[in-house]
Amino acid sequence: MNHFLAISDLSSGEVQDLLDLAIKLKEEYFKKGNPPLFKGKVLGMIFQKPSLRTRVSFDMAMRHCGGDALYLSPNEIGLGKRESIADISRVLSGYVQALMARVFDHEHVLELAKWSSIPVVNGLSDYNHPCQGMADALTIQEKFGKAKGLNVTFVGDGNNVAVSLMHVSAKLGWNFTIGNPEGYDINPKAVEIAQNIAKETGSKLNFVRDPHEAVKGAHVIYTDTWTSMGQEEETAKREKVFPPYQVNAGLVSEADKDVIVMHCLPAHRNHELTDDVADGPHSVIFPQAHNRLHAQKAILARLFGVA
């Protein structure tokens, strides 16, 4: 890998390789700690959007493996405003050994990668969230193993998280279903990519409106906030549209008896996800959050060429 920009850029084998490495690094960390794989390396972290999990998990991933991380705030960079993205990318390429960018416009992370002579990691864009997708897949495999044909259901807005979950599901041969209201569909180009992947892996993709239909037979129910960062002006409208898509005890009871419930966080509790589900026996939202750390160690290790 030269960069990590989208799960769809990887082969199914490469996705599984990253997951296997993440499991190894996680086990190693809890047994004796990780060796200093990233010694002498610094990750530059560019943020246009605030973050808890992305910032801390990447920072600690570097520290656990003997490296360091440098936080660069929106005011310090002004990506594409104060200075061109091409210039920023080329300047930082001479200072650090890799870049992670959490941006609004997906084209910004692609532009960074285009001009960079060091690896670039997509920490989130409005199009996708591949680091989250890898942590999600790690969490699902820890529960169900490498079984093909798992039923993974996303309930709610067809956003960037849904895109990466759909792509990683297709890569691993899992069936992906989304139940979302009209007008909030997944990006059509992302769907086309997933359909092409599914032809190779046997994954089945289903796009429905009814959340109850979506969760039938589901081994995984995944939801996310109804209003993402940058969509605040749509909050009132979305609050009227999405209540039928709330993941509550009733909806969970319609899925497989061993279903796990996932959320990438931050959660607006008792909106998209009720407290009793978030804190209930089916929830894996906190192990899922912790797996960001281990999945990202694997991504960085492959990009650095040290594992």
Task: Kindly list the catalytic residues.
Answer: 102, 129, 132, 224, 264, 292
Q: Are 206 and 139 in contact (CB under 8 A)?
A: no
HSE (side-chain half, CA atoms, 13 Å) at 274? 15
- Give the C-alpha separation, 302 to 3, whole Å: 10
Length of the chain: 307
- Give the C-alpha separation, 193 to 195, whole Å: 5
* Ramachandran sector of residue 66 (left: φ over 0; alpha: ψ -120 to 50; beta: rest): left
Bond before 181 cis per omega within 30 degrees: no
- For residue 23, count other CB atoms closer than 10 A to its CB: 17
Closest CA to 9 of 153, 135, 196, 140: 196
Would you call 293 helix, strand, or coil by DSSP?
helix
Q: What are phi and psi of 158, to 5 degrees?
A: -75, 70
- What Cα–Cα distance (Å) separates residue 192 from each residue in 20, 37, 45, 167, 202? 28, 38, 31, 10, 15
Would you call 15 helix, strand, or coil by DSSP?
helix
HSE (side-chain half, CA atoms, 13 Å) at 57? 24
* Ramachandran sector of residue 226 (left: φ over 0; alpha: ψ -120 to 50; beta: rest): alpha
